[in-house]
Amino acid sequence: QKDVGILAVDIYFPRTCVDQEALEAHDGASKGKYTIGLGQDCMAFCTELEDVISMSLTVVTSLLKKYGVDPRLIGRLEVGSETVIDKSKSIKTWLMQIFEELGNTDIEGVDSTNACYGGTAALFNCVNWVESSSWDGRYGLVVCTDSAVYAEGPARPTGGAAAIAMLIGPNAPIAFESKLRGTHMAHVYDFYKPNLASEYPVVDGKLSQTCYLMALDSCYRRFCSKFEKLEGKQFSISDTAYFAFHSPYNKLVQKSFARLYFNDFLRNASSVGKDAMEKLEPFSSLSSDESYQNRDLEKVSQLVAKSLYDTKVQPSTLLPKQVGNMYTASLYAAFVSILHGKPSALRGKRVVMFSYGSGLSSTMFSFRLQDGQHPFSLSNIACVLNVSEKLDSRHIFSPEKFVETMKLMEHRYGAKDFVTCSDKSLLAPGTFYLTKVDSMYRRYYAQK
């Protein structure tokens, strides 16, 4: 198949959110710690009415409707999530309600899990299926859905929540460059969820940052070497218009891009220009282990990479800064932020993507963008996404109300025999919500 990739996308995030500046004051953190230190503006969260199942029901229904796709034309449905509601039953099976209604139960695929990487695994499964001999001509559908919540403490402001749906097929406006994939996987305990009674992860924040940057280096090297084999020339930052990173918080994205810049300098010093070369030279003899801990290198590389960051990375930061870490959906929300900008200027451009899931698994891969044909065109995708309106129609909760909601959700996690509150006024029309969980832990949803 030619140009297999993403034909259509939609994103959903809860309208309920908390302002990072207010949260920082409420938590007694120093002024600017969450907004400048972490680089975050706002954080979305689920109230008792919403969860990863309702969000994915909402986004899949919306995508099929807005692009006019008949649910009978879906042949594979893959879900990536790290939010555990059931240890056996896939989120995918809840989504089957949408398709069963129309008699389509012939849909392969179940859930993929490894921290924030599950969405990428699901996406690769769908793309590989369309490129394979078992493809039956129908569309693949990928859903990334997560509610990222942390216990009180320094990680709490790095939460978020969203679901993204992506329709997969040939002749896509967002086409995979399938030969360009660099992967790095290893065993580490940086972020994991061993306590099955709690929704909160166990996290070693500092270790997770270093693991992320080491994985980035490794993937970039492999990605570059595949590019060189294919194209017969060295890859550098200048070979792509945009980068989208998995975005736990924006500061790590700034550090990541600076790290790629430093990689370019180490591989070919002249590729970064004279001024940057002089500034980075003192760090060229650091061992790689030392380089992850060196604060001066971090600062200098961010400084010299700043203007390129503004053109190649900044467009991808809108949703991750406004919504927070969406785990599996985070990287794709960064990508969607690029599309939202000015779709007409994206034709022919390359976007390099970096997916990271703690534990760990990571891949760097790339897309090539082209106009596409209505309804699967870049401009229609940007129109359907309607990012600005979705952001503008949110309701900002006070930090006190946010903390109260987190407490209620702690009790509700893994609970049975309850009904949710009756006030649906904050939900947008068309949104799915949880109505009750019965004595057999069966969950019931309705659509507003």
Q: Which residues contact 379 (CB under 8 A, 6 or more apart)?
A: 343, 344, 371
- Tell me: does residue 154 bind ligand ACO (CB under 6 A): yes
- Tell me: does residue 291 bind ligand ACO (CB under 6 A): no
Q: Which residues contact 95 (CB under 8 A, 6 or more apart)?
A: 56, 57, 60, 77, 79, 143
Closest CA to 12 of 42, 41, 47, 44: 44
- E strand or H helix at 355: strand 350-357
Chain centroid, CA 249 distance in Å: 11
Is-catalytic flag, 410?
no
- Binding residues among 409-438 for ligand ACO as defined by CB under 6 A: none
- Binding residues among 348-377 for ligand ACO as defined by CB under 6 A: 358
- Tell me: does residue 209 bind ligand ACO (CB under 6 A): yes
Measure the CA–CA gap between 364 and 244, rounded to whole angstroms: 10
Measure the CA–CA gap between 254 and 248, rounded to whole angstroms: 11
Q: How far is the CB of 405 from ligand ACO (least distance, A)?
A: 19
Is-catalytic flag, 46?
no
Exposure letters 206-221 (e unless 16+ CB within 10 A, then b)? eebbebbbbbbbbbbe
Residue closer to ligand ACO, measured from CB, 212 or 365: 212
Q: Which of 17, 42, 116, 211 is catalytic?
A: 116
- Tell me: does residue 31 bind ligand ACO (CB under 6 A): yes
- Tell me: does residue 155 bind ligand ACO (CB under 6 A): yes
Cis upstream peptide for 375 (omega within 30°): yes
Residue closer to ligand ACO, measured from CB, 235 or 249: 249
Residue closer to ligand ACO, measured from CB, 38 or 174: 38
Contact letters (x/-) for ligand ACO, 85-124, by CB under 6 A? -------------------------------x--------
User: Could you tell me the CA-to-CA distances from 331 to 25, 148, 302, 355 in Å, in that order?
Assistant: 29, 14, 21, 6
Measure the CA–CA gap between 348 and 339, rounded to whole angstroms: 13
Q: How far is the CB of 252 from ligand ACO (least distance, A)?
A: 6
Q: How far is the CB of 444 from ligand ACO (least distance, A)?
A: 31
Q: Which of 82, 177, 199, 298 is catalytic?
A: 82
Residue closer to ligand ACO, measured from CB, 36 or 186: 36
Phi (first) and psi of residue 193, to 5 degrees: -130, 70
Residues in binding contact with ligand ACO, number by CB under 6 A: 23
Contact letters (x/-) for ligand ACO, 293-332, by CB under 6 A? --------------------------------x-------
CA atoms within 13 A on the CB side of 224: 17
Is-catalytic flag, 246?
yes
- Binding residues among 236-255 for ligand ACO as defined by CB under 6 A: 248-249, 251-252
Measure the CA–CA gap between 234 and 303, rounded to whole angstroms: 24
Which residues are known catalytic residues? 82, 116, 246
Contacts to ligand ACO by CB under 6 A = 30-33, 36-38, 116, 154-155, 158, 191, 203, 205, 208-209, 212, 248-249, 251-252, 325, 358
